[in-house]
Structure 1
Amino acid sequence: MKTDAAAPATAPRIRTLIVDDEPLARRGLELRLAEHADIEIVGQYGDGAAAIAAVHTLQPDLMLLDVQMPGVDGFTALQHIPAEKMPLVIFVTAYDHYAIRAFEASATDYLLKPVDDSRLHQALARVRQAWAQRAASRHCERLLGLLGELSGRTLELDQALHQDCLERLRSEDKLAVRDGARTLRIAMSAIRWIDAAGDYMCIHTDQETLVLRATMRDLEKQLDPRRFPRIHRSTIVNAKRVVELRPHTNGESYLRLDCGQELKLSRSYRDRLPLLH
């Protein structure tokens, strides 16, 4: 059986519901999903009505949903779930003629029974991508709220990306970020490294990973390059957190941070990390 070891055990897990009126089908999915470390099964149900109630109470990230079930079927169940609570959905059914309706219902993927391991692997890869995009969007909304709070006015995304607005995030060597209703000020010394994820920047701190909508160049301008040198086209590191340099091939190297994380130091950026020369 193919396994997915991409997600470390400490990574956030995708909270998942299995909904199928056949106990053996639920058990089969449970066994297959156990091979994926980032999937956490939070409930199993045999009908659509129970699934609707579970979505409201458990607020899962993902639902593997059978189409044909007694009483409330899969499509009807989705019609009774509000958009703000809707999890990602993978339809699982024995009938391929439901495929078009599944994607019209904005399903992430569609699996035929008996479920093939490689197709499940592919479907979960799509789920992970969509789940990460949802998380980044929520962080972006939080950032816009923070910037609006700091500037005293409501900001659109393009305004928030302006350098003047980004500078408002800094206050005496601290980076201000919003966590729900709270505004947190994170010491620059707590930042381990920063890397790019599409249109977003991920700031890895001692406590958590924060995501904001910006480019590498935008954020690089806000940091002291002597303290936060760029070591790769998509990575900035806190130089004080580097404890080891390990040479690699083609003039590249790997840096080990005090937290154990390893980062690639590209040859073209080596001169930006003078403390290791």
Structure 2
Amino acid sequence: MKEPITTIIVDDESLARRGLKIRLQEFDDITIVGECSNGRDALDMIIEKQPKLMFLDIQMPGLDGFDVVKGMQGDDMPMVVFVTAFDQYAVDAFNVHAVDYILKPVEEERLQQAVEKARAKQQEKGALSDKEKLLDLIGDITGKKPGNVDDLLNEHSEPKQQYSDKISIKDGSNVTIVKTQDINWIDAAGDYMCVHVGDNIHIMRITMKQLEAQLDPDVFQRVHRSTIVNLNQVKQVCSHMNGEYYLMLECGARLKMSRTFKDKVKHFL
């Protein structure tokens, strides 16, 4: 029996959501756990339901589909299949690592292909989970808890860098200088770091460990395996019944603080 793929549907058209839901119910491993009509509700539902897959419309009032992807926290990101009536966004969709891009009206064969791609990607995530279990075992044996293989191999190998009030972000032949005080938060996306500065997102090819070493820990703290937050940008800390916390930032972002980093709450009190 296939492992269930918990799924949400995000589309501002109720008929589109209903039609897609009916067709997805034909797949025995797709479990619909929610649906919503706008991007803001989608971000809240991702935190609440933690779905593995999301069918996401692009053109919606308020936050569009790309805004939803930008607003998601790295480790909470479900797989994304864009469903839209417009084909001009295809390149942008795959640039944000979408699983698939389906045009409306959705053809049966294309939906089948999208689900198969999601299944394959889900198996890859399963392999990553096995790797994390292995690292936990290594931690139990050695008495240390490395976050990843690089942490284990490079421990003590990188000198402490002097903290600067600016970081340089290279984009092709251009270099953007960003003041660290202007950074809202940072999250990991594969081999890249997404630096959120106001409404802009700057992409850096650097590891989380390397970037964290450049930032003043009195200002920047890791609150999740894949998230660093500017403490000066936090305006509210909300507790959750499962022992986790959510941080509300001045920019409107809502970030999860995992139980592993719950001791960081003292920085906000």
Q: State the AA in 2 paired with 1:140.
A: K
In the alignment, structure 1 residue 99 sits paired with structure 2 residue 90:
yes
Q: Cα gap change, 1:130/1:149 in structure 2, threshold over 3 Å: closer, same or farther?
A: same
Q: State the AA in 2 paired with 1:86.
A: M
SS at match of 2:140: helix
* Deviation of 1:150 (Å): 2.1
Question: RMSD across aligned C-alpha pairs, in angstroms?
Answer: 1.9
- Cα distance in 1 between the residues matched to 2:101 and 2:64: 16
In the alignment, structure 1 residue 65 sits paired with structure 2 residue 59:
no
- TM-score (structure 1 length as normaliser): 0.51
Partner of 2:103: 112
Partner of 2:37: 46
Partner of 2:221: none
Q: State the AA in 1 paired with 2:117.
A: R
Render the CA deviation track for 1:224-244: whole Å, top value 9, x for unaligned.
Answer: xxxxxxxxxxxxxxxxxxxxx
Q: State the AA in 1 paired with 2:37.
A: G
In the alignment, structure 1 residue 75 sits paired with structure 2 residue 66:
yes
- Cα distance in 2 between the residues matched to 1:148 and 1:83: 23
Between structure 1 and structure 2, the one with the greater Rg is: 1
* Deviation of 1:157 (Å): 5.9
Partner of 1:13: 4
Partner of 1:24: 15
* Deviation of 1:144 (Å): 1.8
Q: State the AA in 2 paired with 1:39.
A: I
Q: Give the counterpart of 2:79 among 77, 88, 93.
A: 88
Q: How does 1:1-277 map to 2 (within 5 A)?
A: 8=1, 11-152=2-143
Render the CA deviation track for 1:151-184: whole Å, top value 9, x for unaligned.
Answer: 44578869x9xxxxxxxxxxxxxxxxxxxxxxxx
* Deviation of 1:73 (Å): 0.7
- Cα distance in 2 between the residues matched to 1:157 and 1:107: 26
Q: State the AA in 2 paired with 1:124.
A: V
SS at match of 1:96: coil
- Cα distance in 2 between the residues matched to 1:147 and 1:123: 37
- Cα distance in 1 between the residues matched to 2:145 and 2:62: 47
Q: Cα gap change, 1:22/1:153 in structure 2, threshold over 3 Å: closer, same or farther?
A: closer
* Deviation of 1:117 (Å): 0.6
* Deviation of 1:132 (Å): 1.1
Unaligned runs of 5+ in 1: 1-7, 161-277
* Identity score, percent: 45
**Equivalent pairs, count:** 150
Q: State the AA in 1 paired with 2:82.
A: F
Partner of 1:245: none
Q: State the AA in 2 paired with 1:91.
A: F
- Cα distance in 2 between the residues matched to 1:114 and 1:97: 16
* Deviation of 1:80 (Å): 0.9
Q: State the AA in 1 paired with 2:103.
A: L
Q: State the AA in 2 paired with 1:104.
A: N
* Deviation of 1:100 (Å): 0.5
Q: Cα gap change, 1:83/1:150 in structure 2, threshold over 3 Å: closer, same or farther?
A: same
- Cα distance in 2 between the residues matched to 1:153 and 1:70: 48
Q: State the AA in 2 paired with 1:145.
A: D
